[in-house]
Amino acid sequence: MNREIFMELLRQREFKAVRSVLNVMNAVDIASLLSELEDKELTITFRLIPKEKAADVFSNMNHSMQTYLIEMLTEKELREILDDLYMDDTVDILEDLPANLVTRILDTVTVQKRSLINQLLNYPEDSAGSIMTTEYVDLRKHTTVAQAMAHIKQVGIHRETIYTCYVLEKRKLIGIVTAKDLMTSEDDMLIENLMETEIISVSTHDDQEEVARLFAKYDLLAIPVVDKDDFMVGIVTVDDAMDVMEDEATEDITKMAAMNPSERTYFETSVFAHAKNRIVWLLVLMISSTLTGAIITRYENAFAAIPLLVSFIPMLMDTGGNCGSQSSTLIIRGIALHEIEFKDIFRVMFKELRISLMVSVVLAAANAVRIMLVYHDVQMALVVGLSLIATVIISKLIGCVLPLLAGKIHLDPAIMAAPLITTIVDTCSVIAYFSIATRVFSL
Amino acid sequence: MNREIFMELLRQREFKAVRSVLNVMNAVDIASLLSELEDKELTITFRLIPKEKAADVFSNMNHSMQTYLIEMLTEKELREILDDLYMDDTVDILEDLPANLVTRILDTVTVQKRSLINQLLNYPEDSAGSIMTTEYVDLRKHTTVAQAMAHIKQVGIHRETIYTCYVLEKRKLIGIVTAKDLMTSEDDMLIENLMETEIISVSTHDDQEEVARLFAKYDLLAIPVVDKDDFMVGIVTVDDAMDVMEDEATEDITKMAAMNPSERTYFETSVFAHAKNRIVWLLVLMISSTLTGAIITRYENAFAAIPLLVSFIPMLMDTGGNCGSQSSTLIIRGIALHEIEFKDIFRVMFKELRISLMVSVVLAAANAVRIMLVYHDVQMALVVGLSLIATVIISKLIGCVLPLLAGKIHLDPAIMAAPLITTIVDTCSVIAYFSIATRVFSL
């Protein structure tokens, strides 16, 4: 849909046309279109959305639009939307709302739903419980396929997914039946003969990142969530798993660049929040990098005698930093994808050592050629070459060991990324450089 | 399943027990278990896997195991597996095989299937065509729900997904019906009254990353793929989209750490391949960082007069690098997630400018305090403070502008990450520092 045309229709108050347009549009696209409207237009337009789509559009809107609408809508309108929202989306919305609006919503829903919402709100952030929904299809093992299909026809429309059905016995999960199984089996087949009993499930307190990884590993569409007594309490669906995967990748990338991750997008985060997320690590890293400066000062006599020595410091520091962050990046990502574990530490170190040797010899040779061409100074070529080899080896080893150690002591490996590694490696490379220089030049 | 027990059963040639164990295990877990076996055991164990699971296990194995098995299996065994494999998995396997084994497989399948495989192999790498499958359920608009269900019961077992069905007319896609719609509608309802006609589809040559983004945006389970004549040719399913999403995040992260991405995992990539992926950028960055060294040499007189000046260089370089990479990281990720576009460049710059001011004033103040405490030198505190402010502003602006410019000229924004930004920012911060120092100290 062309935005300009839509805006023009709205401006001319051609509400009938607007309604027709909204009728054929996808809920996600409607939400994105609404985000460009003024507040007043937003309320008017939202009321023109076909009833069966309104909840879906609402759950796709951004937080500030949702907050505004909850304030503006009548209690009846609000109730209609809340009735159609899936439980996980309701809880998502509530988590970010100011207290008075949370109360407004809790007053609108039924007592039963209210207690369920309160329970879901109590799960730890980023846990399976906090992203699950409680609407799923449950079956009994003595049911036939035909009965199950009839049951789904009756309740299915209110379930977030009907493609995986859960066979319960005394509230415990004993089997899983897919809609594909049901649709391709004979009517009189018993569920217990059809169901899969090797079940992949998660607990309410499991980390959402682990849950998302199970989806990717086993190609699932939904995963059941059980509580500590092994009772089934909900499901997580693949669309939420995809969102988690994207958010977790963003979070890792942000941490790897020495920032506290933000829940919001770049533009949604305020200038002050951005500054706050960035300043702590900058301060820590700034102070630790003064150590490198202090070490350089100790070799004042060396570079007073041979000022050229100073000019190779940036090259050594940068190369060390780059080598270290290459290794740490691969290891951090490998840990996140469960391809590398702590027990692999010696295997990783040996591999990085061999890579360092190959890489550093090429770098040292390239540098030697350059120094010979520019300065005709064999000793300097030797000093810089040896320092490069030492720097590359040290930085690659530090780069691979620190993330693994961080993981071992239950820190997020992502903090052991480029910025911190660079600062640590800087100090090492400067020490190596001046130790080698003072020996070769007998300073 | 406990691995040790399994291995022991295999060693004792308790094949009946092994078969029972394999019977209840999940295909993904079997593949992972097989990866720990010797080649000879692998063939034996693979033959013990229940027939209906064999293809699924096969498609979950790693590349070298697949290659080995294709060599070892008889033509009949191979044909059985190929018959059960979905088309997208078959093509995936073929893409990595040596030519003689590709021929072996193409000789095994039917003429019809062979021409389809050849067609799929011809789609560009990373395109929608290369990851799609050709097995989907197609319906006609005048069919009733009951007829559609009967059709699915008949063909469904051989389709990768039956949850989204495609309504075709003269090979063109005119509508989409979900299994949920079918299962919750009356038997005599006509498909044309049930189908959704606002269709989200992709073209065979669309980038797989864009395809994965559509899944995340619209919460899809499958997406139809159409060719240039608008004929429907296949579908991409959500499990493949998740894999693409994970691979693309890994690729971006790898590029952001100045490496050429690898298709394989860390351990699967050889030492030589690792070195090759890392050396090019290291060389480029090493050579460009000598520029910073050359600039420092130009100010030889300045640090001969005040040697303390040298000791702040690492701190300024590191802080500039960190600030620049914070900004570039957020922008690169924002571009990848379509949250930031080139047209936002001035909005981004203005935001980064305000963030820089906040951040740099805090950093400068912290540094001033430290310098006053340690060196009691007001002029030095002033020089370093001003240099910090200049460095932070320059690096944040460079960090946000370069990825946007790269995207504009169709380069991957991910190459404008920490390493390259750091090298560029280093030069700027050193120039700023010495310009300010020579003025304040009148050198």
The pLDDT score that the predictor gives to residue A389 is 95
Contact B242 A246 (CB under 8 A): no
Identify the closest residue of chain A to B361 by CA–CA distance: A279
Q: How far is B315 from chain A (nearest CA, A)?
A: 5
Q: How far apart are CA B52 and CA A330, in angstroms?
A: 37
Predicted TM-score (pTM) of the model is: 0.83
Looking at the predicted structure, is the pLDDT value of residue B226 above 90? yes
Q: Which of B240, B311, B375, B383 should be substituted to probe chain A, the one whose Cβ sees the most A Cβ atoms within 10 Å?
A: B311
Question: Mean pLDDT lowest for which of A31-35, B97-101, B244-248?
Answer: B97-101
Q: Which residues of B touch A215 (CB under 8 A)?
A: 242
pLDDT on residue B1: 56
Phi and psi at A428, nearest 5°, equal -60, -45
Residues in chain A closer than 8 A to B307 (CB atoms): 297, 300, 303-304
What are the chain B neighbours of A348 within 8 Å (beta carbons)?
266
Q: Looking at CA atoms only, how far is residue A204 from chain B in angstroms? A: 23
B184/A157 Cβ within 8 A: yes
> Min CA distance, A438 vs chain B (Å)?
18
Q: Which token pair is B121?
A: 């192999």
Determine, for residues A259 and B312 on separate chains, whether the beta-carbon distance falls below 8 Å.
Answer: no
Q: A226-278: per-residue pLDDT in tens?
A: 998 889 999 999 999 999 998 888 998 888 888 888 888 888 889 999 999 99
The secondary element (H helix, E strand) that includes residue B223 is strand B222-226
**B256-306 residue pLDDT tens:** 888 888 888 888 889 999 999 999 888 888 888 888 888 888 888 888 888
Q: Do β-strands A202-203 and A222-226 pair in parallel, antiparallel, or remain unpaired?
A: parallel
Chains A and B form CB pairs within 8 A to the count of 341
Distance CA B89, CA A433 (A): 52
- Return mean pLDDT, chain B: 89
Residue B216 touches chain A, beta carbons under 8 Å:
yes
CA angle A156, A157, A159 (to 5 degrees): 65
The whole-number pLDDT of residue A101 equals: 85
**What percent of chain B is predicted at pLDDT more than 70?**
100
H or E stretch covering B95: helix B87-95
Contact B152 A184 (CB under 8 A): yes
CB nearest to B311's CB, from A296, A314, A326: A296
Residues of A in contact with B287 (CB under 8 A): 366, 370
User: Residue B36's beta-bridge partner residues?
Assistant: none
* Mean pLDDT value across residues A357-380: 92
What are residue A133's DSSP bridge partners? A235
Identify which of A409, A415, A395 has the alpha carbon closest to the alpha carbon of residue A332: A415
State whether A321 and B321 contact (CB < 8 Å): yes
Which 236-295 residues of chain B touch chain A by CB within 8 A?
238-239, 241-243, 245-246, 249-250, 252-254, 256-259, 265-267, 271-272, 274-275, 278-279, 281-283, 285-287, 289-290, 292-294
Q: What is the pLDDT of residues A46-64, one digit of tens each?
A: 999 988 889 889 989 988 8
pLDDT band at B346 (very low <50, low <70, confident <90, very high): very high
- Interchain pair A28, B217: CB under 8 A: yes
Q: Are B424 and B321 in contact (CB under 8 A)?
A: no
Q: Which of B200, B283, B363 sits opposite A283 (nearest CB)?
A: B363
Are residues A304 and B304, on separate chains, in Cβ contact within 8 Å?
yes
Q: Does A391 touch chain B (CB under 8 A)?
A: no
pLDDT in tens, B71-119: 888 888 888 888 888 888 888 888 878 888 888 888 888 888 888 888 8
- Tell me how far apart the alpha carbons of residues B216 and B205 are, in angstroms, rounded to a whole number: 19
pLDDT reading at B249 higher than 60? yes
From chain A, pick out residues whose CB is under 8 angstroms from the CB of B213.
none
Q: What value does the mean pLDDT take over residues A8-31?
A: 88
pLDDT digits (tens, 9 = 90+) for B17-40: 888 888 888 889 899 888 888 888
pLDDT at A390: 95
Coil/strand/helix, residue B36? coil
> Given an 8 Å threshold on Cβ–Cβ distance, is B326 in contact with A355?
no
What is the rounded average pLDDT of the residues B187-203? Answer: 92
A347 vs B contacts (CB less than 8 Å)? 267
Residue A86 predicted with pLDDT over 70:
yes
- Select the residue of A156, A217, A289 nearest B28 (Cβ to Cβ): A217
Under 8 Å CB-to-CB from B431, ≥6 apart: which residues? B295
pLDDT single digits (tens) A386-424: 999 999 999 999 999 999 999 999 888 988 887 888 888
Residue B11: predicted pLDDT: 86
A363 contacts in chain B (CB < 8 Å): 279, 282-283, 286
DSSP A156: G
pLDDT tier for residue A1 given thresholds of 50, 70 and 90: low
Tokens standing for residue A201: 């499930």
Using CB atoms, pick whichever of A314, A333, A419 lies closest to residue B253. A333
Residue A146's pLDDT band, with cuts at 50, 70 and 90, is very high
Give contacts of B 94-153 with A, CB under 8 A: 149, 152-153
A chain contacts of residue B300, beta-carbon cutoff 8 Å: 307, 310
Q: What mean pLDDT comes out for the span B171-200? A: 92
Q: In the prediction, which pLDDT does B85 show?
A: 87
The ipTM is 0.82
Indicate if the pLDDT at residue A73 is higher than 70: yes
Q: Side by side, which strands form the sheet with B136-139? A: B136-139, B161-169, B172-178
Q: Å from B205 to nearest chain A CA?
A: 23
With CA atoms as reference, report the closest residue to A200 among A217, A181, A180: A217
Which residues pair with residue A151 across a beta bridge? Answer: none
Tell me the C-alpha distance between B66 and B98, whole Å: 11
Q: A420 CA to chain B: closest CA distance, Å?
A: 9
| Chain B residues whose beta carbon lies within 8 Å of the beta carbon of residue A311 | 290, 293-294, 296-297
Instruction: Return the pLDDT at A95.
Output: 82
Give B-chain residues touching A377 at CB under 8 angstroms. Answer: none
- Percentage helix, strand, coil for chain B under 3-state DSSP, each rounded to 5: 70, 10, 20
**Structure token pair of residue A202:** 């998660």
